[in-house]
Amino acid sequence: MSSLKLNGCVTSAESVLISMQSLEEFYKILEQKTYTTTVISISPQSRASLAAKYQLTPIQVHKRLTYFFKHILGIHHVFDTAFTQDLSLVESAREFMDRFKFYMANGGEEIEKVAQQQQQEEGPSVRSRRGGGAKAKKIEGMPMLASSCPGWVCYAEKTHGEILPYISTTKSPQQMMGSLVKNYLANKTNTSANQIYHVTVMPCYDKKLEASRPDFQIDDIRDVDCVLTTSEIDQMLQSHDFLQMPEAPVEDMFNKVGVDPETSQETVFGVPGSSSGGSLEYIMATAARELFGASTDHVTMKVGKNADVCEYSLMSDDGRPLLRFASAYGFRNIQNLVRKIKQGKCIYHYVEVMACPGGCANGGGQIIPVNVNAKEWLNQVESIYRSAKGIWPEENEMIKTIYNEWIGDDMAKRQLLLHTQYHAVTQSFQNPLATKW
């Protein structure tokens, strides 16, 4: 259940940044009481991995982690990045629709005719295997590629700089939470951002590099100070009896938790879609509604050459594809995607790209069980992740309130706090895929 690392060889500078985000460094910060406020934000993928190991529900894991962090380690706030997942999805959908409108107004109709003709004649999968098909002119920014996987982003920066304009500029849920904590929370609690120590719990080691990017700091203050993986948190729990640990109440702020109307039980909430965050499903549903007045009842799905490639088409009443989305997980599938984009033969409007086969539930920082079938384990983690009741971001009233209060109509602030940029990096590595953690 290993994760394929696409970010290239880790440089000496990156190694230093990674070493600053270790358990030892985390404990040292807590012991020295360097900061007045400490915050931990937990990813739903990490929560699902811990729930699978300890045979607990996600809400039980979240409450016990809240107790562990607050009452044993002295952390001040425990948040849930499923909350900023909503914020990231809303912003990604808005960005996609802006790009799609620009695309259609600047030659997209011509490309659509070519793509539809190809699909009618032999289908995209067949055409791709043969390498044939007409080549339409490329329009920068389309297809839009997901940006929430740092392994994929680092790989693109180090090896395919010409692909960077296609990657969504919307920040990942981790970095969205960083902006919320260091800006919104700091202002609400009258605390200086440099006095807040923000830690995230993630399924992926590459999230440590993401948090270290200069783009994710303002006035030399990082949005996320330290990233700990699921397996590192599990290592911390070894000296405690997690199964017998009390459950602490969940904070109201920045937690996607509530009462399930069907069971009347408190539960964590997620979003419909894959364990990689549901961006494909949400963006397609939003674009279908806003751009075409359609629902996803008219979406067809086709599995590619392997389970980590899927194609989704929103069909018109007369059988024409209005939107073409895809998912591409794992290095080989990403290579194929990049090659098609460079050749001007990619017919998709949006692609959910993830470095790890199986997506974020299979991240390299997740718990690796002993003597358990890897595929069965991943299915179990996926099932637990999906057990969280899926609600769309627009149903999250707190997201609306915070967005209106925090960002409002200030476009410059929206760009600064919710978006980022990418940089082509020139490297001279003999083996750019030899990353070892």
Dihedral sign computed on CA atoms, order 331, 333, 336, 340: negative
198 with 230, same domain?
yes
Q: Which pLDDT score, from 0 to 100, does residue 131 have? A: 38
- List the structure tokens of 74: 């002295």
Residue 125 is assigned to a structural domain of this protein: no
CA–CA dist 189, 225 (Å, integer): 19
Query: Domains in the chain: how many in total?
Result: 2
CA gap 232, 223 in Å, rounded:
21
Question: Do the beta carbons of residue 310 and residue 319 sit within 8 Å?
Answer: no
Is residue 163 domain-shared with residue 20, that is, in the same domain? no
> Is there a domain that residue 253 lies in?
yes
- Between CA 398 and CA 392 the distance in angstroms is 13
Are residues 210 and 50 in contact, defined by beta-carbon separation less than 8 angstroms? no
Which three-class secondary structure state does DSSP give residue 349?
Answer: coil
Kindly state whether residues 254 and 192 are assigned to the same domain: yes
- Return the SS3 of 181: helix
Q: Are 7 and 151 in contact (CB under 8 A)?
A: yes
**Is 191 in contact with 37 (CB distance < 8 Å)?**
yes
Q: Are residues 329 and 180 in the same domain?
A: no
| CA atoms 364, 369, 373, 376: torsion sign | negative
- Positive/negative CA dihedral, 42, 43, 47, 52: negative
Give this prediction's pTM.
0.88
- Say yes or no: 67 and 18 in one domain: yes
Q: E strands, 361-402, where?
A: 389-390
Angle between helices 44-54 and 230-237 (to 10 degrees): 40
- Whether residue 181 sits in one domain with residue 142: no
Cβ distance 41 to 177 under 8 Å?
Answer: yes
pLDDT of residue 139: 65
For residue 43, being part of any structural domain is answered with: yes
CATH of the domain at 104: 3.40.950.10
Neighbours of 34 (CB within 10 A): 11
Query: Domain of 411: which CATH number?
Result: 3.40.50.1780
In terms of domains, do 76 and 30 share one?
Answer: yes
Q: Which residues contact 292 (CB under 8 A, 6 or more apart)?
A: 314, 316, 322, 323
Cα separation of the two ends of the chain: 15
Residue 88 is classified by DSSP as H
Instruction: Identify whether 108 is part of a domain.
Output: yes
Report the pLDDT value the prediction gives residue 297, as an integer from 0 to 100. 86
In a domain, 369, yes or no: no
Enclosing domain of residue 283 = 88-118+138-169+275-360
What's the one-letter identity of residue 28? K
Q: Where are the beta strands (DSSP E) in 81-122?
A: none
In a domain, 235, yes or no: yes
Give me Rg for the CA atoms of the chain.
21
In a shared domain, residues 158 and 183: no
Q: Please tell me whether residue 207 adopts helix, strand or coil conformation.
A: helix
62, 42 Cβ separation under 8 angstroms? yes
- List average pLDDT for each run of 10 residues in the chain, which is 437 residues long: 44 66 93 95 97 96 98 97 95 96 84 68 42 51 92 92 95 97 95 97 94 92 96 95 96 90 89 89 96 90 89 89 94 93 91 93 92 91 92 89 91 94 72 41
Residue 164: CA atoms inside 13 Å, Cβ hemisphere, count?
15
Shared-domain flag, residues 188 and 155: no
Integer Cα distance of 420 and 214 in angstroms: 10
pLDDT at 21: 86
Among 360, 376, 405, residue at a domain's last position = 360
Q: From the centroid of its chain, how far is CA 91?
A: 13
Tell me: do 246 and 291 sit in the same domain: no
Q: Is residue 293 part of a domain?
A: yes
Residues 304 and 396 in one domain: no
Q: What is the pLDDT of residue 29?
A: 94
| Residue 435 located in a structural domain | no
**Integer CA distances (angstroms), 371 to 5, 46, 374, 376, 377, in order:** 24, 20, 9, 11, 10
- The answer to whether residues 212 and 321 belong to one domain is no
Strand duo 266-270 + 257-259: pairing: antiparallel
Structure tokens at 208: 């440590």
